[in-house]
Amino acid sequence: MIISSSACPSGDEKVALFGLLFETNARMSREIGAELEARCQLPFAWFDVLLQLRHNEDGRLKMSQMADAIVHSTGGTTRLVDRLEEAGYVRREHCAADRRAIYVAITDEGGAKLDVALLVHLRYLEENLATRLNDTERSVLTGLLTKLNAPR
């Protein structure tokens, strides 16, 4: 089926907005990923896992929760956690209440690596976010993105 260009919604404002969100995320992720690799020898996906664990009160998440948090398949998350565990940054823990559940927990070494990486990350954000958007703009953007990420 061929759709004529006049019927194609590529000029729709919503399509353009999504494109801007996608491009901004891709560019910033690529740039901060390169910084983390160069300065900390820490892949961006590893940084994301360690940060998710740090955000959790007890420094651990069930594997299924981790997969949801980092938006990976369960198989992809398992492979990612395998590599982090080999590096000594996380450990797996069994759940006493549910023998099927496995927790991923950040280790002291992982916490120390994350602390170093966060300094690089914060410098990047200062140079590429804080200097380009004022306090009000950042607050509005945070509110809007939070609204878009909220469950329906």
If we measure between CA atoms, which residue out of 14, 47, 16 comes closest to residue 33?
47
What gap in Å lies between CA 128 and CA 149, rounded to an integer? 22
- CA geometry: angle at 121 spanning 106 and 87, to 5°? 35
What are 72-116's pLDDT values in tens digits?
777 888 899 999 999 999 999 987 777 788 899 999 999 999 999
Question: How confident is the model over 111-146, as pLDDT tens digits?
Answer: 999 999 999 999 999 999 999 999 999 999 999 999
Residue 147 to residues 24, 52, 67: CA-CA distances in angstroms?
A: 18, 20, 22
Domains of the chain from N-terminus onward:
29-130 (1.10.10.10)
| 25-29 average pLDDT score | 94
Average pLDDT over all residues of the chain: 90
